[in-house]
A and B are shown apart, each in its own frame.
Chain A
Amino acid sequence: MRARVFVTLKPSVFDPQGRTIADALHSLGYSSVEDVRQGKYFELDLATTEAAQARALASEVADKLLANPVIESYRVEVE
């Protein structure tokens, strides 16, 4: 199965890169883009056919390595 892990900065954490991207979009005329938050995306190929197992494994590696819980949170999708 494939798991997708989306890692984003927690809402309480300022994202200077996202802000700069938003500013760039505004200078391109996209004034309706109110805010941008930048994150990371991981695709994990897993040797399991069980969705629950895949989700648990992806969450475990996100907790241990892919995300830093001090500043980041994550979301897992499996297919």
Chain B
Amino acid sequence: MKIAVIVFPGSNCDHDAYHAATDVLGESADLVWHKDADLKGADVVVLPGGFAHGDYLRTGAMARFSPIMREVQAFASRGGPVLGICNGFQVMLEAGLLPGAMLRNRDLKFLCEHVHIRVEQIDTPFTAACRRGQVLTIPIAHGEGNYFAEPDVIARLEKNRQIVFRYTTAGGEVTEAANPNGSAASIAGICNEARNVVGLMPHPERACESILGSADGLVIFQSVMQSLKSGALVGGTRQA
């Protein structure tokens, strides 16, 4: 498996994703500069966390104009698996790869803590190795992770089973107290209708080794490895 980690000016979790892919999982990865126009034959694309373009105007708003995003859009539309983590998720929303938008956290605080998220859907390339209802302990680190979409959009996400992760208690219960940032429907992550594009606010790449407090994030990367090996994924550059 070859992972392309996109590097925007201001990305700061790019090396975490690269480390998880290479040192922890032993896969191959490339750091791809945002001005490049080539995904270098990647099987998977990761839009990492950070503050792309300083988060000027709105979080993720400028990154969609980076030249590499044309390639990422094309890769996604061919069915290639794309994972957006934190700021990468915000970039996906601004780029129209996923519906909705991010607001400031409900209590305006930047939140940096481990949270529990429940896997709602296991038919995406990034959750295929999970159990449905599995609760993962994964850190969040964001000031604007309060997911918002109009009620009709939320209803459509529910109907199409596009809500992939929700914030819950350790026991997997959705409660207001377990929702750290005020996200609509306790949404921590969603996918597109084709299910190959997944965005989430928590950081699985920072939870791949027990020395970091949790290794629960590994299953996200193992899922996409499994999906690629099983041939469940169509599209991507290799198949194109």
Task: Name A residues whose Cβ lies closer than 8 Å to a Cβ of B.
Answer: 12-14, 16-17, 20, 65-66, 68, 70-71
- Known A70-B149, A71-B148; judge A16-B103 contact (CB<8 A): yes
With the chains together, A16 CA to B103 CA distance in Å?
Answer: 9
What are the residues of chain A within 8 A of B103 when measuring CB–CB?
Answer: 13-14, 16, 71
Task: Name B residues whose Cβ lies closer than 8 Å to a Cβ of A.
Answer: 57-58, 61, 93-94, 99-101, 103-108, 146, 148-150, 182
**Main secondary structure on A side of the interface with B:** loop
With the chains together, A66 CA to B94 CA distance in Å?
Answer: 12
What are the residues of chain B within 8 A of A68 when measuring CB–CB?
Answer: 58, 61, 94, 101
Q: Assess the B101–A70 pair: CB atoms within 8 A.
A: yes
Q: Which of A12, A14, A65 contacts B61 (CB 8 A)?
A: A65
With the chains together, A70 CA to B57 CA distance in Å?
Answer: 15
What are the residues of chain B within 8 A of A71 when measuring CB–CB?
Answer: 101, 103, 148
What are the residues of chain B within 8 A of A16 when measuring CB–CB?
Answer: 103-108, 146, 182
Q: How far is the CB of B102 from chain A (nearest CB, A)?
A: 9
Q: Assess the A12–B58 pair: CB atoms within 8 A.
A: no
Q: How far is the CB of B25 from chain A (nearest CB, A)?
A: 35
What are the residues of chain A within 8 A of B106 when measuring CB–CB?
Answer: 14, 16
With the chains together, A65 CA to B94 CA distance in Å?
Answer: 10
Q: Assess the B108–A66 pair: CB atoms within 8 A.
A: no
With the chains together, A14 CA to B105 CA distance in Å?
Answer: 11
What are the residues of chain B within 8 A of A66 when measuring CB–CB?
Answer: 57
Q: Assess the B148–A13 pair: CB atoms within 8 A.
A: yes
Q: Which residue of A lies closest to B96 (CB)?
A: A70
Q: Which residue of B lies closest to A17 (CB)?
A: B104
Q: How far is the CB of A19 from chain B (nearest CB, A)?
A: 9
Q: Which of B57, B99, B104, B107 contacts A65 (CB 8 A)?
A: B57
What are the residues of chain A within 8 A of B58 when measuring CB–CB?
Answer: 68
Q: Which residue of A lies closest to B60 (CB)?
A: A68
What are the residues of chain B within 8 A of A12 when measuring CB–CB?
Answer: 150
Q: Assess the A70–B104 pair: CB atoms within 8 A.
A: no
List 8 A–B pairs whose Cβ atoms lie within 8 Å, in order of A's numbering: A14-B103, A16-B104, A16-B146, A17-B104, A17-B108, A65-B61, A71-B101, A71-B148
